[in-house]
Amino acid sequence: MPLQQRERTSAADTFLANEADLIHCLYQSLQNQTGFHDFLAMLMVSVNGCAAQLSFVRRAPRAIEHIWYAGLSDEFIGWYLDNNMIAHDAVTNVAITQAPGTFHSALPLIEDGPPGDQYDRWESDHSMLDSAWLVVDASDTHIVMLTVQRTVAQGGYLPSELEAMDRLIPFIRQSVSLAETFHQNPHSEKALSTFIELVSDAAFVLNSRGRLMVSNQRGEAFLATDRTIMLRQQRFTFGDDVAQKTFFRTITRVARADLEGRTYEPETLVIPRPERAPLLMSLRPLEHSEFLTGGVLVTVIDAESRALPDEATIRQYFSLTGAEAQLCKDLITGMSLKDIAHRRHKSEATVRSYLKQVFLKTGQSRQGQLISTILSSLLR
């Protein structure tokens, strides 16, 4: 028997051998701080895959609004989201037209090759060959999709393997539905509402999938009067595309940190407004509790109503040089590094060298965390 055939036979012997454990892990996800991560990791191994994702995908404009994943690095997920690769994904382009059904192989969908150079490079770099994909749930605006990838070495999915995976579908659908119900627990909303009213700024609590659970009165008033940030299907949407992508990447990082029990410093996003001072949106993880499995507290400050710290104050408080303090001042007003370089007649490399020194002196590693540290220390 050829080596490759012997390997496939061996894999078939262990395919979904731990089905009962998988189902148990699936339901444990409802109360596990890591959400569906452990289930995806176990499923990936059980079906001889290399990566797995459970994604909440917005139909139009096409984008991932939340994702649990296993077998992929945070850096890769960041790249995938930054480039909105889901818009070029052949499987997703078909999945959004389908009702919830059974597991399928991706091979028939990509016989003519993946669409676009970037997608082709991703497939090539990761030696991806096939995906078993399932539309878990679908609405007019979103789909929930489960995919488990295989490399060239692992081979494509056999029809018998897909049929075996279909046995998990009722349990997957029920657990995803229960997760949604769990996050809408009226007892948790009542407790969170009491807590959030104590916040002096416009404040919101989002669950781990980025859906709004509760807001305080100042938050409701803000959404009613300022159209920079809007609520659509209980999710924040932004008129500025860059702000939308930055928000999604940030909330994914913050929620993921809480789910994994990692310490994570709050981040602040500067949301631009045409001909007006920017909005300052801070995101910080909420501790896992009986009321919430992976949540994020979002506060919004109107820079027009608060005096931002000046260069001299920033310089003195953090012991920075004049150029470094100037950089910080520009960052909290919403300027990008490229814009700062142009305004200050510096090269972008020079500006980045200033930022590196500021990170060292403040103990931060992200611009959002740096801005949050400056504002929490000096904003009055």
Overall average pLDDT of the 53-65 stretch: 86
Residue 282 scores a pLDDT above 70? yes
Residue 113 scores a pLDDT above 60? no
Overall average pLDDT of the 268-274 stretch: 88
26: Cα within 13 Å, side-chain hemisphere: 20
- Specify whether 157 is located in the same domain as 260: no
- Specify whether 240 is located in the same domain as 351: no
Overall average pLDDT of the 315-324 stretch: 94
Pseudo-torsion of CA 183, 193, 302, 343, nearest 10°?
A: -30
| The amino acid at 278 | P
Domain range for 241 = 185-302
- Specify whether 73 is located in the same domain as 153: yes
Neighbouring-strand partners of residue 134: 146
CA dist 45 and 51 (Å) reads 9
Kindly report, residue by residue over 366-378, the tens digit of the pLDDT: 898 899 899 888 8
More confident residue, 74 or 156: 156
- Specify whether 60 is located in the same domain as 125: yes
Kindly report, residue by residue over 204-241, the tens digit of the pLDDT: 988 777 788 889 999 999 999 998 999 887 889 888 88
More confident residue, 49 or 247: 49
**Domain tally, the chain:** 3
* CATH number, domain with residue 370: 1.10.10.10
Q: Among 240, 271, 302, where does a domain finish? A: 302
Residue 5 scores a pLDDT above 80? no
More confident residue, 257 or 311: 311
Confidence label for 190 from pLDDT (cuts 50, 70 and 90)? low
Question: How high is the pLDDT of residue 3?
Answer: 44
- Specify whether 192 is located in the same domain as 287: yes
Confidence label for 296 from pLDDT (cuts 50, 70 and 90)? confident
Question: How high is the pLDDT of residue 126?
Answer: 54
CA angle 307, 309, 311 (to 5 degrees): 135
Residue 294 scores a pLDDT above 70? no
Question: How high is the pLDDT of residue 198?
Answer: 82
CA dist 163 and 177 (Å) reads 22
Contact assessment for residue 214 and residue 196, using Cβ atoms and an 8 Å cutoff: yes
Question: How high is the pLDDT of residue 105?
Answer: 94
Write down the pTM of the prediction. 0.62
Confidence label for 345 from pLDDT (cuts 50, 70 and 90)? very high
Question: How high is the pLDDT of residue 2?
Answer: 52
294-298, 339-343, 357-361, 368-372: least confident range: 294-298
Kindly report, residue by residue over 70-84, the tens digit of the pLDDT: 998 877 887 887 778
CA angle 87, 92, 98 (to 5 degrees): 135
Tokens linked to 257 = 């940190």
- Specify whether 77 is located in the same domain as 106: yes
- Specify whether 272 is located in the same domain as 297: yes
Contact assessment for residue 169 and residue 86, using Cβ atoms and an 8 Å cutoff: no
Q: Among 261, 284, 302, where does a domain finish? A: 302
Helix (H) or strand (E) holding 361: helix 348-362
Q: Among 155, 181, 207, where does a domain finish? A: 181
* CATH number, domain with residue 286: 3.30.450.20
- Specify whether 317 is located in the same domain as 254: no
Question: How high is the pLDDT of residue 42?
Answer: 95
- Specify whether 24 is located in the same domain as 157: yes
Whole-number percent of the chain with pLDDT over 70: 83
Residue 1 scores a pLDDT above 50? no
Sign of CA dihedral 75, 268, 332, 278: positive
- Nearest CA to 156 out of 302, 48, 288 is that of 48
The position carrying tokens 């407790």 is 191
Residue 199 scores a pLDDT above 90? no
Residue 141 scores a pLDDT above 60? yes
- Specify whether 104 is located in the same domain as 138: yes
- Specify whether 75 is located in the same domain as 14: yes
- Specify whether 88 is located in the same domain as 13: yes
Distance spanning both ends of the chain, measured CA to CA? 75
More confident residue, 33 or 3: 33
